[in-house]
Structure 1
Amino acid sequence: MLLIKRNIKWIVVALLAMAVVPLLITTYEVISTENRSVQFLGNYHPKVVFLVITYYFFLFGLGIFWLVRQLVFMSKLKNEKMKAELMLLKSQVSPHFFFNTLNNLYGLVAKDPQKAQELILKLSDMMRYSIYEGEKNTVGLREEIDFLKNYIELHRMRYHKDISVDFICAVDGSRKGAPLLFIILLENAFKHGVENLRENAYIKMNLSTSENEICFTIENNYEKAENQSGIGLKNLKRRLELIYPNQHELTFSITENIYQAQLILKQL
């Protein structure tokens, strides 16, 4: 078997060479005789003709088999590449969030140890979810909602100012979706809105489900126009392309000092 694999190229060459021989003989007969036409394999015994024709059918079948195998291989390769890219994108979600949180936790440890301990517990719960649930293809929307609520509570403990965060949920508890998609939009709302505003900062979120859709809308105010297309949003757009190809809508709108994002996941 190993010998066949090593010499597969020469085996293919030999099979094709054998197939060319009858064609070469017929071509020679056409050139060397005065006949205007020559019947293919007309001067050979019927059994020889049958074997040659059978051999051509064998080569044709072998070619079809090889083509199908190549298509299957390319499909598997594409799927494996997509899975590898998704795993990489998922691994980028957690560090992007935890890096920012740990930076704030570092300064909080000396100022308010008790609040720092509560923050660490919240962070631990979120890390557990991100590591174990984030690796799954789909999670329950209820679990994703709890994750978002923990994130909100974690930020409430960080800031020394009033933050208005309204989160309205009207979802079917049995529905599922890809994990760690909404968190990127929520993180952007905190990063570009709450963190830069001294007062009257707010975030409004709405997560709802219909028969064939999951709709997440988030709105926040901000002090000045900023470019919110960082690594988080690029990550989100690429994940949506891979997980929900032609089955999602991600839109953004800016009105004065109001920034709104809407993500619709279509489940047909």
Structure 2
Amino acid sequence: MSGMRTWRVRTALLGFWLLPTIIGTIGFHLVPSRLNPSLPTAALFLSQFVMWGAWGLWTAVIWYVGDRVPFRAGERLRAFVVHLLLAALIVFVQIFVYAKTSVAFGLDEPRGFESTLVIGIRSNGDVFLVIFCAIVVAQMAMRWYDEWQAERVLAARMGEDLAQAQLRALQAQLNPHFLFNALNSIVTLIGRDPAMAQQLVVRLADLLRATLRAGDGQVIPLAQELEFTRRYLDIELVRFADRLRVEWPSGVMPAAMVPAFALQPLVENALLHGIARQTGAGMVSISTSREENHLVLRVTDTGPGLSADTTSSGAGTGLLNLRARLSRLYGEDAVLRVQDGATGGVEAVLRLPFVPEEMGTHRITVGASDVPATR
């Protein structure tokens, strides 16, 4: 747990031990001690403050240990053993704090070590153990609440990221130049190739429908993401005509989940800053591979490269937003690099944790949180 709010709550809970101190003082006023009935109110309050105030110290110790040895999956047995030993130590010490304070203020008779321990366990051992457990449970409840709040914020941010990604994808497809060129190509084809014109209209409609019905899933199957990208490039192939060639992944494609609309900004970046800036024909290549526990997506182009166009360095809005989405989904386990290619052009490499496609309807662990991976 962290943050000013958490520490304010903890400070308030430490102050809670003033309540039993006050109640204990009132109790001795109503029923004075047989051994010292004339004990002043200030002395009564001080005795109760020492007895109950010690639990403020124990609370801080329990929280310190609980923060470092929390009850979490895979650590519960270790945490149980540590807290059990801590409970035995605190109950043992508190018995003597209670006894010695009572004797010091004349509220009880002095006893030997063994008698103090045995009578303390019989009289207060169960109460002290319940108090210890209550403190541990309170800390666990605060931690779970903080994690629940953090997960809600993370889910809200990722939902906003996805909505923005869908909007950017739709805006890219409705870009006036893109749409004008697509429609102009359709008009040109109507006279000389009506079948192709009709096919292009269908492709444009399919692309827009695919964008709108992508849903709210944070991750989708790689095959679906590639199909969406294919529909986008089908339109761009008409726009660039013989100036563009697309190379698709070959071989067996990994059955994995990827962030929705992850390839769109990479391909759009390759077209805008690569193919569109060269005079001759160019190629965009898309490849997928699995490297141990990671999925690697590559988009390369044969454009002028980063040295000739600083705007393609990966600092564009689309790529910045994609990096933000990757950080929220996978933490530091996802990496996006945009660099000059080995043989020219630009290479964008997206490296993700490999999540099998069969986990698409389950929750996937991302960083420190679990995020729904619905399709």
TM exceeds 0.5?
yes
2:296 to 215, 218, 235: 215
**Residue 136 of structure 2 is aligned to residue 64 of structure 1:** yes
2:335 to 244, 249, 253: 249
Counterpart residue identity of residue 250, structure 1: L
- Structure 1 residue 139: deviation in Å? 2.2
Q: Hey, what's the Cα distance between the residues in 1 that align with 2:201 and 2:287?
A: 27
Match of 2:267 in 1: 186
1:14 to 19, 33, 37: 19
**Residue 134 of structure 2 is aligned to residue 129 of structure 1:** no
2:104 to 15, 30, 39: 30
**Residue 316 of structure 2 is aligned to residue 230 of structure 1:** yes
> What runs of 5+ residues in structure 2 fail to find an aligned partner?
1-11, 25-46, 52-97, 190-196, 356-375
Distance 1:218-1:111 versus aligned 2 partners, 3 A rule = closer
Q: Hey, what's the Cα distance between the residues in 2 that align with 1:65 and 1:166?
A: 58
1:198 to 258, 275, 279: 279
Identity %: 16
After superposition, give the CA deviation of every residue in 1:68-92 in whole Å (9 maximum; x if it has no partner).
Answer: 1111112222222211111111111
Counterpart residue identity of residue 77, structure 1: Q
After superposition, give the CA deviation of every residue in 1:144-190 in whole Å (9 maximum; x if it has no partner).
Answer: 21111111112122336621222223344643333221222111111
**Which moved further from structure 2: 198-207 or 57-66?**
198-207
Distance 1:119-1:82 versus aligned 2 partners, 3 A rule = farther
Distance 1:147-1:59 versus aligned 2 partners, 3 A rule = same
Q: How does 1:24-173 map to 2 (within 5 A)?
A: 24=51, 27=101, 29-30=103-104, 46=119, 50-102=122-174, 103-105=176-178, 107-108=180-181, 111=184, 114=187, 121-133=202-214, 135-159=216-240, 162-172=243-253
Q: Secondary structure at the match of 2:269?
A: helix
Match of 2:373 in 1: none
Q: Hey, what's the Cα distance between the residues in 1 that align with 2:23 and 2:347?
A: 69
Q: TM-score, normalised by structure 2?
A: 0.56
- Structure 1 residue 214: deviation in Å? 2.1
- Structure 1 residue 252: deviation in Å? 2.7
After superposition, give the CA deviation of every residue in 1:91-116 in whole Å (9 maximum; x if it has no partner).
Answer: 11122232233222553487456479
Counterpart residue identity of residue 337, structure 2: T
Q: Hey, what's the Cα distance between the residues in 2 that align with 1:167 and 1:159?
A: 17
After superposition, give the CA deviation of every residue in 1:239-258 in whole Å (9 maximum; x if it has no partner).
Answer: 22222234333223215852
Q: Hey, what's the Cα distance between the residues in 1 that align with 2:262 and 2:164?
A: 12
Distance 1:226-1:120 versus aligned 2 partners, 3 A rule = farther
Is the contact made by 1:171 and 1:209 (CA closer than 8 Å) also made in structure 2? no
Q: Secondary structure at the match of 2:210?
A: helix
Q: Secondary structure at the match of 1:59?
A: helix
> What runs of 5+ residues in structure 1 fail to find an aligned partner?
1-7
Is the contact made by 2:244 and 2:283 (CA closer than 8 Å) also made in structure 1? yes
Match of 1:4 in 2: none
Max Rg structure: 2
Q: TM-score, normalised by structure 1?
A: 0.75
Q: Hey, what's the Cα distance between the residues in 1 that align with 2:123 and 2:198?
A: 83
Q: CA RMSD in A?
A: 3.8
- Structure 1 residue 12: deviation in Å? 7.3
Is the contact made by 1:167 and 1:206 (CA closer than 8 Å) also made in structure 2? yes
